[in-house]
Structure 1
Amino acid sequence: MTYCTKQDLIDRFGEQELIQLTDRVNRPASAIDDIVVTRAIGDASALADGYLAKVLSLPLSPVPSVLTKNVCDIARYYLHGKAAEKDSPVARAYAEAVAFLRDVSKGLVQLTEGGETPPAAAGGQVQWKAPGRVFTRDTLKGF
């Protein structure tokens, strides 16, 4: 399942940017290549699934808007590829999106819409039993 669409990318980043990033045939670039966009969205959604599967039952329905935003940022970074500079806004947005997904997987951030929490692992609390104390205040009197 994908968490964003081509239209989400256009709404967030503009049609002209997507044309420049995806049209690898025409010079000058003149059309959005749907295959390239679909691949980037699929890769970004797969990355998100890897983090989310740890704490949520997939697929999510409905998709939380915060997840859509973060997957859009990841897909944009994938579309930029090696052209994304290390300190560029695109790279920063990607790093923040991955950090968000990491926090969700650790349980530090909770998605409020969609999904169900998977059942907890079977078992109970950890139990242990230790032998009685060998050295006590009474047995060490005089030392």
Structure 2
Amino acid sequence: MSYASLEDLIERAGQDEILQVADRDEDGTPDPDVVAAALQHADNTVNGYVAVAYAVPLTVVPDLVRTWAVSIARYFLHRNGPPDYVVNDWRFAIASLKDVAAGKLKLPVAENETPPAASEDGRVSVAGPDPVFSADRLEGWL
């Protein structure tokens, strides 16, 4: 599940702009692969920052995240240089994501979507099965 959709891009930018930047074969419709690549890049960018504080991918997409994903995807759709207002939206999205990663901004997540456990010193811990290769299991092999 992507954090944003073609419909979200059209709602934010308008049909004309999306056709200008995503209709590379000039058939009158946005190219699905071009849009999908931009949305995937946006998802990867969001996840890269948000993963510091939350389990990703987010199962419920807050409106803030959708807005940031749209801004990032829109920025990358403008392959010949985005206009200033698109660059400003992208910069705001990246700055906001940095704030999430730094713990300055909290996402409105559902109760079942909790951040990963953190220790008292701020390190993230992960629970899982015992490691396959450990010093005890390799004893005698080294």
Where on the TM-score scale, by shorter chain, does this alignment land: which range? 0.7 to 0.9
Match of residue 103 from structure 1: 99
Map 1:3-14 onto structure 2 (within 5 A): 3-14=3-14
How far apart are the structure 1 equivalents of 2:120 and 2:64?
32
1:113 and 2:109 correspond:
yes
Q: Deviations over 1:21-60 (max 9, x none)?
A: 011222xx62211110010000011000000111001121
1:122 CA drift (Å): 7.6
Report if aligned partners of 2:4, 2:69 keep a CA contact under 8 Å in 1.
yes
TM-score between the two structures when normalised by the length of structure 2: 0.78
How far apart are the structure 1 equivalents of 2:5 and 2:82?
21
Match of residue 32 from structure 1: 30
1:60 and 2:34 correspond:
no
Count of residue correspondences: 120
- The structure with the larger Rg is 1
How far apart are the structure 2 equivalents of 1:83 and 1:68?
23
Amino acid at match of 1:5: S
Unaligned regions of 5+ residues in structure 1, if any?
124-143
Q: Deviations over 1:82-141 (max 9, x none)?
A: 4214xx000011000000000000000000124311111388xxxxxxxxxxxxxxxxxx
TM-score between the two structures when normalised by the length of structure 1: 0.77
Unaligned regions of 5+ residues in structure 2, if any?
122-142
Aligned-residue CA RMSD (Å): 1.9
Map 1:122-137 onto structure 2 (within 5 A): none
Amino acid at match of 1:37: V
